Amino acid sequence: MPDIIAKSDGQKIAEAEVDDFRRELGPFVVAAETTRMAMVFTDAKESDNPIIFANNAFLDLTGYTREEVLGQSFNFLMARGTDPDSLARIDAAFAGTTGGSEISYRRKDGSVFWSAVLISPVRDESGVIVQHFASFVDLTDHKREQAQSRMLIDELNHRVKNTLATVQSIVWQALRNASDVNVIRDSIEPRLFALSRSHDLLTRESWEGAGLLDLVNAALEPFGIGNGRSEHFVITGRNIRVSPKVTLALGIAFHELATNAVKYGAFSNKTGSVLISWTIEPSPEGDWLHLRWQEKDGPSVTYPSRKGFGSRVIERGLAHELEGTVDLDYRSEGIVCTINFPASNGARDG
Amino acid sequence: MLILIMIEDMLADLGCAAVTSAATVNQAIALIESQNFDVAMLDMNLNGEMTYLVADALATHGVPFAFSTGYSSDDIRDGYRDRPVLKKPFMDKELAEVFTHLLRRAALL
């Protein structure tokens, strides 16, 4: 806190001049006193531009009392942590070379605020600058919005980069496992659309998460869950909220399971069906989500001679991503995939 | 998670016999303390958490490593600025170059 300085003669004269203003320019002084824009007048006759008038808005903004402010140098608000650059910009504004600047100030309680400072000279009849008039526009909200928007752009960039890497891995796998153009396209396109559906789902909820039931319905939409084959799906589970990360991971996993079912499993004949169910259960380490994909009445299942991309994604990728366990059981009566992961990693009720 | 499978494939193509992955800082540190690794690749950010604790553990155990990141503005902390950084998405060629460099340097020490 700055010391209260005994009023110099100059300060007394300057205050008398403000009193004169008050008498002569009544309505304008009242306006300066009552406006919500923070304002001060400074004495131009002294080198450090002492403050000779401060309105209530200025006192509210800075947390000082009028007695603590009057007589102080204009720069007293920057007493701690003043950078030479800010001081130079204030000097330039007083000299009239610039109209003002954006400055970081400290309140009496030490908290920092950003302000646009606008400084204008006040001249007497002969044109001599006798005072300066400074107004302060609080930029704290503006600066906070700027920082937030910077953060959103960084986050968007991060997601785009991750999505591009995901697309790269889809293309990489397709080119690695096939040379026929049609096979390559059939490997790439449905996965890109699966990714796109998960993005749609998350965008609808501002990327805060998605409902598990909505997620299952979106992932299985191309496989006829909404029309055509709806009788082949039995889904039991509440629309539990899961995180964006879990949404993306499960979206791909359900797509891979369903694609496999079309090729070899319960969606490859007329009678087959799949039961998808989930529950949340308490454990010593907190709540776990237990999810189960169970096929039946499809062709008899045999253990694959070679594991494809889809099963690696589910068994290794999904378990890693969810920090849980995933088991893909090739039972002859139908594939059973069990997925268990800590609910704190992205699932919660509601 | 598709990215993980791709990186595993890239590393297998380069001749890595075994690839282990960790999804969290704690998992990573537990692995570093219980197994010997020839080389490591560390995402700078796991689940929104910066991974310098893992970098410290790798440095303590003398495991050469490179960072990977999807953020363009990640500032690397003092002491780690000389580590190679792979920016996602990266090509298998870049991965090969970085790992070759790391292993060659480790062999010279």
Q: Are residues A218 and A129 in the same domain?
A: no
Q: Are residues A193 and A250 in the same domain?
A: yes
Task: Using an 8 Å CB-CB cutoff, list chain B residues near A245.
Answer: 47
The rounded Cα A112 to chain-centroid distance in angstroms is: 23
| The predicted structure's pLDDT at residue A22 | 66
Strands (E) across chain A are located at 38-43, 51-54, 100-106, 112-123, 129-138, 210-211, 233-236, 241-242, 273-281, 288-296, 325-331, 334-342, 347-348
Nearest to B24 among A159, A313, A323 (CB): A323
Region A195-223: mean pLDDT is: 93
Choosing from A104, A139, A174, the residue where a domain stops is: A139
Please tell me the least confidently modeled range out of A5-19, A197-211, A290-304: A5-19
Please tell me the least confidently modeled range out of A76-85, A159-168, A292-301, B65-74: A76-85
The residue behind tokens 């004169």 is A20
Cβ atoms of A335 and A329 closer than 8 Å: yes
pLDDT, tens digit, 9 for 90 and up, residues A248-274: 999 999 999 999 999 999 999 999 999
Among B88, B42, B87, CA closest to A165: B88
| The predicted structure's pLDDT at residue A349 | 41
Region B64-82: mean pLDDT is: 82
What is the CATH number for A17? 3.30.450.20
Chain A contact present for B88, CB below 8 A: yes
Q: Are residues A190 and A334 in the same domain?
A: yes
Does residue A312 sit within a domain?
yes
pLDDT, tens digit, 9 for 90 and up, residues A25-70: 667 777 888 888 999 999 998 888 999 999 999 999 999 999 999 9
pLDDT above 80 for A182? yes
| The predicted structure's pLDDT at residue A348 | 46
Task: Using an 8 Å CB-CB cutoff, list chain A residues near B3.
Answer: 162, 165-166, 168-169
Does residue A207 sit within a domain?
yes
- What's the domain range around A22? 9-139
Does residue A168 sit within a domain?
no
What is the CATH number for A329? 3.30.565.10
Cβ atoms of A292 and A277 closer than 8 Å: yes
Does residue A154 sit within a domain?
no
Record the tokens describing residue A35, joined without a space: 């406006």
Among B69, B76, B71, CA closest to B98: B69
Chain B contact present for A161, CB below 8 A: yes
Q: Are residues A121 and A203 in the same domain?
A: no
Contacts of B51 (CB under 8 A, 6+ apart): B25, B28, B42, B43, B44, B45
- Count CB-CB contacts under 10 A for residue A25: 12
**For residue B89, is the peptide bond before it cis, meaning its omega torsion is within 30 degrees of 0?**
yes
Chain B contact present for A162, CB below 8 A: yes
Give CA–CA dist B101/A53, Å, rounded.
67
Bridge partners (DSSP) of residue B69 are B87
Choosing from A80, A115, A139, the residue where a domain stops is: A139
Q: Are residues A193 and A339 in the same domain?
A: yes
Q: Could you say which DSSP state residue A307 is in?
A: -
Task: Using an 8 Å CB-CB cutoff, list chain B residues near A323.
Answer: 23-24, 27
Number of domains in chain A: 2
The residue behind tokens 């059939």 is A186
